[in-house]
């Protein structure tokens, strides 16, 4: 008798359990900065996240996993290994030979040069899963999606541990950038984005030392 497959939902029971290991704190001028270091020091939680993504994409079916520089390099390899699929690095410019680059893009931190990928890593028709730790404005994901399309591949989905829903389609009055508008303007609005956890359940404020200083640098 086959085991029943589990369907994982954003902010579901598992996500709420994992969320307690993602405390927020002020960093780079952002009041609520979420960092994956909280669960990386908990092997059982990290493994749970990997297992959730593996089950989801084993069912959907992919040819390769592309991780974004740099946190996607932490999350992507164990997922790719479990799925027995190749892992592809999408790096900042000037880091790899025989690479193509996407256009510059904007993030919540400011403008960035495009990402790069080696030309032989994605073949025409390949079904590629893009992995990163967090999606906010969608600028970095859009750069990665464009790279896959430039090489003739298909992005099955963009998967992140955290999705900040406030950037999906904010009102004009909010002044926030819109991921929906960015994807439409780039002709990639057909590409789905899935996040395990949203800011709705990320309510664990970090306990900071009295001498804490927001000394984050742009990256």
Length of the chain, in residues: 219
Catalytic residue among 71, 91, 179, 199: 71
Query: Strand 87-92 and strand 99-101: pairing?
Result: unpaired
Catalytic residue among 14, 55, 108, 157: 108
DSSP secondary-structure letter at 158?
A: E
Query: Strand 64-68 and strand 87-92: pairing?
Result: parallel
Asked if 131 and 90 count as a contact pair (C-beta separation under 8 A), the reply is no
Based on the residue annotation, tell me whether 91 is a catalytic residue of this protein.
Answer: no
Cα angle value 91/40/107 (rounded, 5°): 40
What does the alpha-carbon distance between residue 24 and residue 48 come to, in Å, rounded to a whole number?
A: 20
Q: Token pair of 147, please?
A: 């790279």
Radius of gyration of the chain (CA): 17
Based on the residue annotation, tell me whether 157 is a catalytic residue of this protein.
Answer: no
Three-class SS string for 46-80? HHHHHHHHHHHHHHHCCCEEEEECCCHHHHHHHHH
Backbone angles phi, psi at 45, to 5 degrees: -75, -45
Q: Residues with catalytic annotation?
A: 71, 108
């Amino acid at each position: 008798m086959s085991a029943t497959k589990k369907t994982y939902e954003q902010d579901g029971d598992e996500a709420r359990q994992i969320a307690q290991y993602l405390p927020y704190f002020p960093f780079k001028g952002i009041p609520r900065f979420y960092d994956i270091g909280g669960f990386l020091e908990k092997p059982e939680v990290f493994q749970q996240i990997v297992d959730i993504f593996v089950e989801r994409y084993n069912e959907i079916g992919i040819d390769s996993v592309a991780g974004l520089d740099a946190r996607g390099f932490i999350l992507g390899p164990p997922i790719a290994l479990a799925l027995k699929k190749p892992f592809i690095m999408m790096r900042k410019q000037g880091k790899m030979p025989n690479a193509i680059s996407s256009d510059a893009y904007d993030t919540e931190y400011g403008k960035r040069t495009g990402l790069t990928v080696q030309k032989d890593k994605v073949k025409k028709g390949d079904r590629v899963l893009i992995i990163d730790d967090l999606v906010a404005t969608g600028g970095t994901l859009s750069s990665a999606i464009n790279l896959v399309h430039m090489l003739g591949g298909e992005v099955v989905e963009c998967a992140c541990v955290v999705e900040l829903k406030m950037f999906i389609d904010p009102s004009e009055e909010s002044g926030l950038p819109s991921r929906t508008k960015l994807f439409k303007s780039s002709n990639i609005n057909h590409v789905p984005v899935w996040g395990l956890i949203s800011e709705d359940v990320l309510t664990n404020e970090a306990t900071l030392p009295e001498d804490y200083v927001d000394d984050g640098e742009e990256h």
